[in-house]
Amino acid sequence: MSNNGIKTDVILIGAGVMSATLGSLLKELAPAWEIKVFEKLKSAGEESSNEWNNAGTGHAALCELNYTNEKPDGSIDISKAVKVNEQFQLSRQFWSYLVKSNLIRHPQDFIMPIPHISLVEGEENVTFLKKRMEALSNNPLFAGMEFSTDPQKLKEWIPLIMEGRTSDEPMAATKIDAGTDVNFGALTRMLFNYLKSQNVEMHYQHSVKDIKRTNEGLWEVKVHNLNSGQIEYHQAKFVFIGGGGGSLPLLQKTGIPESRQIGGFPVSGLFMVCNNPEVIARHHAKVYGKAKVGAPPMSVPHLDTRYIDNKKSLLFGPFAGFSPKFLKTGSNFDLLNSVKPNNVLTMLAAGLKEMSLTKYLIQQVLLSNEKRMEELREFIPNAKSEDWDIVVAGQRVQVIKDTETGGKGTLQFGTEVVSAADGSIAALLGASPGASTAVHVMLEVLEKCFPQYMSEWEAKIKEMIPSYGISLVENPALFQELHASTADTLGLSEKEPVCS
Ligand SMILES: Cc1cc2nc3c(=O)[nH]c(=O)nc-3n(C[C@H](O)[C@H](O)[C@H](O)COP(=O)(O)OP(=O)(O)OC[C@H]3O[C@@H](n4cnc5c(N)ncnc54)[C@H](O)[C@@H]3O)c2cc1C
């Protein structure tokens, strides 16, 4: 029972990029609403949104081959790539609005231009990449993409990767200069700094333990204040569960019918980080390969130039693995505790269906450092073990649910907004395409939870995100105009950014 039940309009649980984005949208749309944020860690952006816990790719499907599947007739389906690209444009526009309005500053601290390259080896894969290029080449969203099988050209684009290569296998790559590296940790911190300046109450080291409906129809959140050891109760008209991997257990506590028959499948990650400045300096791109047979889409290997703390870095991975934790800072009992009477059959069905994936992930966890180096050498043949360290990445909890097409216990690789029928509470589950599409996903939260305000808010949303509700692929002139103006505001026009 509540001992104080302090009331507010909105509670955001978790200080990751999703809560930061929703809070920032709401502050612009409903400035008078009171917002409180509860985060169990000491600061914002410390879990998946942290720059060292994710790959920092501004996912616009420019280089990720898993968004363009080959159909049985051999043609390439680009619909997913177009969708992801359109969603990323919404993020660019909102970030650009925030910068132009001086709500956040120094965009170079969170977004940098970097070529996005897809690289494949072997006859079959070269044919696939060529067909993919042809399918995308007439699409305005992918304008400027180049294709090459010429070893000389490839050496120019990716010298580090081409050096020391002895295989006779044909290789091909596509390159597009409009790609980005996004420091989602820095962005999250900037957004929360801005929100704090707008009187949003930030409560760090406050762990949410329970969420219950009150008799008045509000939501009461039970919070453990980790500083004082006290239990607090806070009530709100609307609650967003943005706990990343920690969202599923909190959603289950709400008891809403929409939370039933849903489970979570945690996937851990490791990156290799280059510690040799000479090697780092010789690579300038995000290079994505093709997933190995049996590997999940989120484990596609890539070699990424990153900009972290104003410094160029080089990361390889992620190596996906299995861990029962739902958060990097979570508990080994997270997976077990998430099994409830209402989802046990769904979870068992998924367990049986995904045996080979689980086996693959466990094998990945058991890889020795030398085996990881062997995988890296498929990208950089001359890579030396002493130049590379290991960092533990964030956890991704993939959604398991019953679907019409996949049947009971189907593993989902996208993100899902789960909300109560009356729109009073919503949770974000899943992690892909992830932070890049935060604006699109949070607009979905607004549409689902605040339908009564959408016509009132529409003009402001369009001021912040001009292509909201408009297909850019069908309006190439608008795409070009917005792409150019956001590139300008976000400092993405320069080909080679100036950075240490
Ligand atoms: C290895 C890896 C690579 C990735 N690469 C990319 C990429 O290249 N591009 C991309 O766009 N996305 C990528 N992602 C996905 C992206 O990182 C996530 O989608 C995004 O960061 C999720 O943000 P979030 O706010 O939902 O969660 P988080 O950033 O995890 O934040 C959730 C917060 O909630 C807090 N919390 C949890 N439970 C509670 C509780 N009970 N009480 C209080 N606080 C709580 C946590 O401490 C945490 O701070 C990647 C993810 C991983 C793991």
Q: Which domains does the chain have, with CATH numbers?
A: 6-489 (3.50.50.60)
Q: Is the CB of 224 under 6 A from ligand 1?
A: no
Q: Quick one: how far is CA 369 from the chain centroid?
A: 26
Interacting residues of 260 by C-beta distance below 8 A, sequence separation 6+: 342, 343
User: What was the pLDDT predicted at 2?
Assistant: 45
Pairwise CA distance, residues 209 & 117, whole Å: 44
113 prior amide bond cis, ω within 30: no
Q: Output the six-digit token pair for 417.
A: 């907004």
Closest CA relative to residue 326, chosen from 340, 315, 337: 337
Q: Is the CB of 246 under 6 A from ligand 1?
A: yes
Closest CA relative to residue 321, chosen from 225, 395, 218, 409: 395
Helix, strand, coil percentages in the chain from 3-state DSSP, rounded to 5: 35, 25, 35
User: What was the pLDDT predicted at 327?
Assistant: 96
User: What was the pLDDT predicted at 497?
Assistant: 44
Identify the residue whose C-alpha is closest to ligand 1 atom 37. 243
Closest CA relative to residue 456, chosen from 20, 164, 28, 114: 28
CB burial of 409-428 (b: ≥16 within 10 Å; e: otherwise) equals: bbbbbbbebbbbeebbbbbb
What is the distance in A from the centroid of ligand 1 to the CA of 100? 26
DSSP secondary structure letters along 293-356: TT--GGG--EEEEEEETTEEEEEEEEEEEE-S-SSTT--TTHHHHT--TTTHHHHHHHHHHTHH
* pLDDT tens, the chain, 500 aa long: 444 568 999 999 999 999 999 999 999 999 999 999 999 999 999 999 999 999 999 999 999 999 999 999 999 999 999 999 999 999 999 999 999 999 999 999 999 999 999 999 999 999 999 999 999 988 999 999 999 999 999 999 999 999 999 888 999 999 999 999 999 999 999 999 999 999 999 999 999 999 999 999 999 999 999 999 999 999 999 999 999 999 999 999 999 999 999 999 998 999 999 999 999 999 999 999 987 766 666 668 899 999 998 899 999 999 888 889 999 999 999 999 999 999 999 989 988 888 888 878 888 878 888 899 999 999 999 999 999 999 999 999 989 999 988 899 998 888 999 999 999 999 999 887 899 999 999 999 999 999 999 999 999 999 999 999 999 999 999 999 999 999 999 999 855 444 43
Q: How far is CA 47 from CA 53, 111, 396, 431, in A?
A: 7, 19, 10, 12
Residue from 19, 37, 54 to probe ligand 1 pocket by mutation (most atoms less than 8 Å from CB): 54
Closest CA relative to residue 2, chosen from 218, 221, 206: 221
Q: Quick one: how far is CA 179 from the chain centroid?
A: 15
Handedness of CA 271, 300, 64, 177 (dihedral sign): positive
The secondary structure element, H or E, covering residue 24 is helix 17-29
Q: Is the CB of 57 under 6 A from ligand 1?
A: yes
Pairing status of strand 286-288 against strand 116-121: parallel
CB burial of 468-485 (b: ≥16 within 10 Å; e: otherwise) equals: beeebbeeeeebeebbee
User: What was the pLDDT predicted at 494?
Assistant: 59
pTM for the complete prediction?
0.95
Q: What is the number of the ligand 1 atom nearest to the C-alpha of 396?
A: 53
User: What was the pLDDT predicted at 297?
Assistant: 65
Q: Is the CB of 431 under 6 A from ligand 1?
A: yes
User: What was the pLDDT predicted at 40?
Assistant: 98
Interacting residues of 109 by C-beta distance below 8 A, sequence separation 6+: 183, 186, 190, 310
Q: Is the CB of 435 under 6 A from ligand 1?
A: yes
Residue from 48, 84, 328, 428 to probe ligand 1 pocket by mutation (most atoms less than 8 Å from CB): 48
Residue listed under structure tokens 């099988």: 149
Cross-strand bridge partners of residue 146: 175
Q: Is the CB of 467 under 6 A from ligand 1?
A: no
**DSSP 8-state class, residue 33:** S
Q: How many residues appear in the chain?
A: 500
Interacting residues of 38 by C-beta distance below 8 A, sequence separation 6+: 11, 12, 13, 14, 203, 206, 207, 208, 221, 223, 234
User: What was the pLDDT predicted at 433?
Assistant: 84
Pairwise CA distance, residues 26 & 446, whole Å: 9
User: What was the pLDDT predicted at 301?
Assistant: 82
